[in-house]
Chains A and B, each alone.
Chain A
Amino acid sequence: MESNQAKPGLLCNPDASQRTLYPYVTGTSVVALKYKDGILMAADMGGSYGSTLRYKSVERMKPIGKHSLLGASGEISDFQELLRYLDELILYDNMWDDGNSLGPKEVHNYLTRVMYNRRNKFNPLWNSLVLGGVKKGQKYLGMVSMIGVNFEDNHVATGFGNHLARPILRDEWHENLTFEEGVKLLEKCMRVLLYRDRSAVNKLQISKITEEGVTISQPYSLKTFWGFSAFENPTLGAEGSW
C-alpha cells in the first residue's frame, strides 16, 4: 500500500528546486547619508568567502537609471542578479520613450517588492540594500532588508554599520553638510568599521549622487594607526597564555 507518509520531494522536487539557504561570498557594511546637494554612500571592496577574504575588488555600489544609486551588502551573486533585473527594468522603462524615467522612490519600491516576494517564496535574495537618489530636487535615501523590511531615513547603514556607524551619524549628521564634511563623516564611520569589523578591508569607494548624476570614486585607502602600545605586545599582562 502507498504510505501516506511525507516523502522527500513530494511537495517540491529537490533536483528542480534551488534556493539560497546561506550566503557564499558576502560584502560587509554600506553607509550612506543625505548632504546638501544629494546623497553620499560608502562601501569597501571586500568579498568574504565565510571568514576568508576571497575577493578584494568587488564593486558594491552601482548607478541605477539616471537618478539612483544602489549599494549592497550580503551575497554578491544575488546583488549581481538584482542588477540584471534592474537593467531590464530601466531598459523597458526607456523603451516607452516618453521622457519619463524611474526615480529613486520608484526603484526603492521595486526593490522592496522583489525582496518581499522572494521571501514569500522562501527563496530570498541574501542582501541588505541601500538606495539613494535625487530627482526634481528631492533627495531620497532608503533601505531594504533580505525579508523586505524597508524604510527611509536621513542616514542609513547595513549590518555592522547599524551598530558602529549610525551612533556617529546620529551625533554628527545635519541637514546642511557640505560635500567635504559628508565625505569626512563617512570616512570617520568607515575607519571605525575598519578597526572593529573583521571582514572590512582598507580599500573602499565613496560615491555621490546629485541632480547632475552619479560619480563613483576610484578605490582608495584610509590612513590608519596601529602603533598603540597595547597592540605592540598583546600578551603582555596576560601571563600564562601562550
Chain B
Amino acid sequence: MTKEHANWSPYDNNGGSCVAIAGANYCVIAADTRMSTGYSILTRDYSKICKLADKAVLASSGFQADVKALQKHLAAKHLIYQHQHNKQMSCPAMAQLLSNTLYYKRFFPYYAFNVLGGLDSEGKGCVFTYDAVGSYERVGYSSQGSGSTLIIPFLDNQLKSPSPLLLPAVDAVTPLSEAEAIDLVKTVFASATERDIYTGDRLEIVVLNADGTRYEYMELRKD
C-alpha cells in the first residue's frame, strides 16, 4: 500500500544567506533576518548572527534548531575557555573549535552552513568558511546559505582575490576600505533578495575593528 499518512524528517531548511568580508583592519559579517520553511515565512526578524567572543562572530544558516544547538554548544565551550585561560578565545582558535564540533557529528550532522568572521591576533580581518561536516578554510571573503550561489560570483568579480596557489602566499584580505565593504555587502544582499525567495526582510551587519563591535541594519524586500 502506498503511504497515506504524514511522514517526518529530522531536518528542515530554514533558508537565509550569510556573508563575511575581511579587510586589513576590520571584518564585516552580515546575514538577513528571514526564517522560512518551504514556501512559508515563519518570521521576518530572526537573527542568524551570534557573537561568540570579542573578536569572533558567527553567521549561520540552514536548520534553525541545529544552528541554535551549535551556538549554545560553542557559547558553553567559550565560557569554560574563559574560566581556564582568563581571556577571550581568538578567532582562529574558535575556527578550529567550530570545525571539530561539526566533525564530531559527522554521522548525524548539524545541518548548519557557517561563516565565521573576526580579527586575528594582529588585528587583521579574518574569515573562515565551512561545510556542514567541518571542512574549513581561511579566506578573504565568503558567503554561505540559500543566496550564496548568487552572491559568491558577484564577490569574486568585485574583489578579485589572489589565487591560493600563488607562491609565496599572497594575503587574502580585500583591498576595500571598511565603508566600501559595508556598501558592497548591502549591494549583494539587495541583489540576492531579488531572486532568492529565502533571503529578505532585513539585513543585519556586524562590523568588527580596533574600536570594537558595531551593528547596522538595512531593510530588504519583504516579498
Contact = CB atoms under 8 A, between A and B. Distances in A.
A151 interface: yes
B43 to A, nearest CB: 5
A149 B69 contact: no
Nearest to B10: A119
A116 B65 contact: yes
Contacts of A120: 10, 108
A150 B65 contact: yes
Interface string A146-163: 111111110000000011
Contacts of B64: 149-151
Interface stretch (B22-30, B34-42, B118-126, B177-185): B34-42
A151 B35 contact: yes
Max chain B CB contacts within 10 Å: which of A146, A148, A149? A149
Nearest to A116: B65
A163 B65 CA distance: 22
Contacts of B40: 162-163
A117 B43 CA distance: 23
Q: How large is the interface on B (under 10, 10 to 19, 20 to 34, 35 or more residues)?
A: 20 to 34
Given A119-B10, A146-B8, A151 B65 contact: no
A213 interface: no
B5 A153 contact: no
A150 B68 contact: yes
Interface in A33-90: 50
Interface residues of A, number: 23
Given A22-B5, A23-B6, A119-B65, A147 B11 contact: yes
Nearest to A51: B4
A122 B9 CA distance: 9
Interface string A1-39: 000000000000000000001110000000000000000
A122 B35 contact: no
A170 to B, nearest CB: 9
A145 B40 CA distance: 14
Interface string B174-192: 0000000000000000000
Contact of B14 (A50, A126, A149, A153): A149
A116 B110 CA distance: 12
Max chain A CB contacts within 10 Å: which of B14, B64, B65, B68? B65
Interface in A145-190: 145-153, 162-163
A153 B45 contact: yes
B14 A22 contact: no
A132 interface: no
B42 A149 contact: yes
B46 interface: yes
Max chain B CB contacts within 10 Å: which of A124, A145, A147, A150? A147
B65 A147 contact: yes
Interface in B25-67: 35, 37, 40, 42-43, 45-46, 63-65
B65 A153 contact: no
A153 B34 CA distance: 12
A146 B65 CA distance: 10
Nearest to A119: B10
B84 interface: no
Contact of A151 (B8, B12, B43, B69): B43
Nearest 9 pairs between A and B by C-beta? A148-B65, A22-B5, A151-B43, A149-B64, A153-B43, A149-B65, A116-B65, A119-B10, A162-B40
29 contacts: A21-B7, A23-B6, A112-B65, A112-B68, A116-B65, A116-B69, A119-B10, A119-B65, A122-B10, A124-B8, A124-B10, A126-B8, A143-B42, A145-B12, A146-B8, A147-B8, A147-B12, A148-B65, A149-B42, A149-B64, A150-B64, A150-B65, A150-B68, A151-B42, A151-B43, A151-B46, A153-B43, A153-B45, A163-B40
Interface of A: 21-23, 50, 112, 116, 119-120, 122, 124, 126, 143, 145-153, 162-163
Given A124-B8, A149-B64, 6 more contacts: A50-B5, A116-B65, A147-B9, A147-B10, A149-B63, A150-B65
